[in-house]
């Protein structure tokens, strides 16, 4: 949410919600990139959008993330996470978020301390549920061991351009525990659409699948992410209302086993054993 005026930003969010997208995911660090004005800029913009649209807050699942501190770069100490969440709420202009996530693991924060901060925020009513982002399975399990309630989500990079969660245990842990995977960069940073740096065989396979199901390559990428039995949520960044509606429809398209395995073989360039 950078590079436009508040009315345009509001129209983007409204179009997404009207298309059936309920989850709005942001982070305190967003705004340092993509033409933003600085740390917290996107939360501030979203806060103005919510203030200008009565009733919109009640129609969305509002999620944000904290733990990245420019120059450090990660701090998930109890004091830092508590202050980060409180600051996010101020920027968003809300009294709570539905989901608060640790953006990236702080290797020098004991998971018991991180859990304590999250429990404190939860007990104060500032967050309704908690999750993690970019955490390994071991890091996730270590945090869960100190939480008195279930972890709601994990946010890995997952797409036909990045298949690691299929084999590194991330999606297995979701299947085991019921944690919901939120797949970031489901279009491979746009490469699955543009074709930049993507195997020609994968592009050809995606085009063939798309022809069969009436989808473009972006739609095939989303349908692939949605095909896993843990029912991943694809986090899309497009701001075009027509594209949003098309991707929502694509998430409902069923790809059978031969199709998804064929896409994986085309992505990896080797036959499955």
User: Which residues are known catalytic residues?
Assistant: 30
From residue 139, give the alpha-carbon distance in Å to each of 110, 115, 122, 180: 10, 12, 20, 16
Q: Yes or no: say if 244 and 186 are a contact pair by the CB < 8 Å rule.
A: no
Q: Yes or no: say if 85 and 43 are a contact pair by the CB < 8 Å rule.
A: no
Angle at 158 between CA 150 and CA 144, to 5 degrees: 20
Q: CB burial class (10 A; 0-12, 13-18, 19+) of residue 2?
A: middle
Residue 85 host element (H or E): helix 78-92
First to last CA, the chain: 44
Two structure tokens written together for 90? 């101020």
């Amino acid at each position: 949410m950078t590079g436009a005026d508040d009315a345009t930003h509001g129209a983007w969010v409204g179009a997404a919600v009207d298309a059936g997208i309920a989850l709005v995911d942001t982070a305190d660090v967003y705004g340092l990139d993509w033409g933003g004005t600085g740390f917290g800029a996107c939360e501030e913009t979203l806060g103005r959008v919510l203030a200008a649209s009565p009733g919109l807050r009640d129609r969305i699942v509002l999620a944000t993330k904290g733990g990245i501190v420019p120059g450090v770069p990660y701090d998930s100490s109890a004091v830092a996470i508590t202050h980060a969440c409180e600051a996010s709420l101020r920027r968003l202009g809300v009294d709570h978020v539905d989901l608060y996530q640790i953006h990236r693991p702080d290797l020098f924060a004991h998971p018991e301390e991180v859990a304590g901060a999250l429990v404190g925020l939860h007990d104060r009513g500032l967050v309704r549920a908690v999750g993690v982002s970019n955490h390994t399975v071991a890091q996730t399990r270590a945090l869960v061991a100190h939480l008195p309630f279930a972890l709601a989500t994990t946010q890995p990079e997952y797409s036909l351009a990045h298949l690691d969660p299929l084999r590194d245990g991330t999606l297995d842990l979701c299947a085991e525990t019921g944690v919901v995977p939120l797949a970031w960069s489901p279009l491979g940073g746009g490469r699955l659409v543009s074709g930049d740096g993507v195997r020609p065989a994968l592009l050809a396979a995606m085009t063939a699948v798309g022809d069969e199901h009436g989808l473009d390559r972006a739609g095939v990428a989303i349908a692939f992410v949605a095909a896993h039995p843990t029912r991943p949520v694809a986090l899309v960044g497009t701001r075009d209302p027509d594209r949003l509606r098309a991707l929502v429809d694509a998430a409902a398209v069923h790809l059978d086993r031969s199709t998804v395995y064929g896409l994986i073989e085309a992505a990896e360039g080797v036959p499955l054993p």
